Chains A and B, each alone.
Chain A
Amino acid sequence: MNQSQRKGLSEFFLESLVRIAGFSTVGFVILIFLYLLQQGVPAFVRVSPANLFGKSWYPTLNSFGTLPLILGSILVTLTAMIIAVPLGVATAVFVREIAPNWAREILKPMIEVLAGIPSVLLGFFGMLLLSPVIYRLGAPTGLTAFTGALLLAYMSLPTIISVAEDALDAVPKSYRDAGLAMGATQWQTVWRVVVPAARSGIITAIMLGLGRAIGETMAVMMVTGNAARMPLTPNSLFSPARTMTATIAAEMGEVARGSTHYHVLFGIAIILFVLTFLINLTAAQSLFQKRRKGGLR
């Protein structure tokens, strides 16, 4: 084998290696999903749908109604989004369009710091310092869905802010110039020209934040009180609730492997997997369109 043939062979080898590395991601997703299915399907077999989608979650009494958990997740997540979306979009607009440079230099690192704060740390803070405040504000206890939603909102903020910022960044300068040239103030230009132009990117940001919120475990587990009740009245917001994620985390350690309870927890995991899959899939579609082509093909 001459030198160039040898080089060709090692190039081929290296290319195969990186190709395998790339494809491993697909492998992992499939593997995870299959495993969840394998462990979760028995739940759907052993437990009747009426039970599974019932209103009471008392696994020790064979009552596997997941509705309180699903609704609990929805309540906490939705509330978190209601808080986080306006806050996040407004902050993104502020940072990108209006803030003076010195403010930007402070804000961006701070948001990155927030992104790095572990869930358990925020949960700890929420538990010891936030929930007493909520309690003093009149809630029956400090550990409520609202407390969880508040924490969740802050955890989703970095995602929402940075993706929204990218979307605003992508709006061509000519749009802003055109707006100002027509006599609009900066404020009007931003809200009537730039933000609508970045609309799809902002929606992507919201979806990704939503995906993050649904999947959050520790912080909510530590502050929502973990009572699997049906959150049907407005009061429920200020009462304890339980999310799907917290349920899995809290109970997995105690179940017997192979028991029905065990399988139902996996079933809940399947629901989570599918939910986040769908949300991220939708968000990803618009993200992909912005990909640059680099390298040599």
Chain B
Amino acid sequence: MLLSIAALVVVVPILVVIATIVVRGLAAISWEFLFGMPRDGMKAGGIFPAIVGTILLVLGTAVAAIPIGVGGAIYLSEYARDNAFTRSIRLAIVNLAGIPSVVYGLFGLGMFVLFLRFGTSILAGALTLAIMTLPIVISTSEEALLSVPTEFRTVSASLGGTRWQGISRIVLPQALPGIITGVILGLLRAAGETAPILFTVAAFYLPRLPRSVFDQTMALPYHLYVISTQVPGMPLSIQYGTALVLLVLVLSLNLTATLIRSYYRRRRQW
């Protein structure tokens, strides 16, 4: 039927993209590629620093975005009343979610690199990514918290529990799978974004691992961008290989989130 064609048109290209990258990129994957340092202006050798850089950025993003994100979600779900203050927060979240990634890059440049003088650094990049990830974490965490039945809170109160005791002992643990899923999806986005790290942290040819949070680093998305557009003579296999590594990273995060979600949904006690 007509509609199923639409669905096919949507789904088939996804499979084509994935399949192409896998097929053409597999050839480049080797121990040296994954764990070796780049050589010869990136035309040979491995992409280990880029992998490490991406991992570090994701970790940094997590550290910054999770407390604020989950904390904000707890506020919205458990404490906030329906007033102008709360509405302004929700408006801000929708806004932050919609800001183009390149604008985040500009902001990161101005605020973290220049104004706070962190320089082009992992710190600046992670903080920029964290603000970008914040709305995703807050939204999904709030949804997870709201899905926990109100009754639990009432029961906890009737047994002499304070609001925070109810939250920390019942609501939060029950919402945790949903929160974790949301965090992973947010980090997945952070791992793949290029524009926010363009001006805040990314270095192209840095054949060593970063030495501190104030150091620059290579990162997978930026790396892919540069080797596919700025470097003449870059072997195709390396390009596809890098793409494949990024793809695998993103897909495995996706898979983890999905698995966590479905596992806990089945075990739910409400």
Contacts and interface: CB of A to CB of B under 8 A. Distances in A.
Interface of A: 7, 10-11, 14-15, 17-26, 28-29, 31-32, 35-36, 39, 86-88, 90-91, 93-95, 98-99, 103, 106-107, 109-114, 116-125, 127-129, 154, 157, 161, 208, 211-212, 214-218, 222, 245, 248-249, 252-253, 257, 265-266, 269, 272-273, 276-277, 279-281, 283-284, 287-288, 292-297
A118 to B, nearest CB: 3
Contacts of B15: 110
Interface stretch (B26-34, B36-44, B78-86, B209-217): B78-86
Contacts of A215: 98-103
B188 A116 contact: yes
B77 A295 contact: yes
Contact of A17 (B71, B91, B109, B222): B71
Top 3 A-B pairs, shortest CB-CB distance: A118-B192, A215-B100, A21-B71
Contacts of A120: 192, 194, 221-222, 224-225, 246
8 contacts: A21-B72, A22-B75, A98-B1, A103-B4, A124-B243, A215-B103, A217-B194, A249-B198
Nearest to A245: B102
B103 A32 contact: yes
Interface residues of B, number: 99
Contact of B199 (A113, A212, A252, A276): A252
A72 to B, nearest CB: 15
Interface of B, secondary structure class, is: helix
Contacts of A257: 114
Contacts of B17: 117, 121-122, 125
Contacts of A28: 92, 96, 131, 134
Contact of A125 (B2, B21, B111): B21
A35 B115 CA distance: 11
A87 B10 contact: yes
A15 B103 contact: no
Given A18-B71, A22-B71, A296 B131 contact: no
A190 to B, nearest CB: 9
Interface string B8-33: 01110111011011000000000000
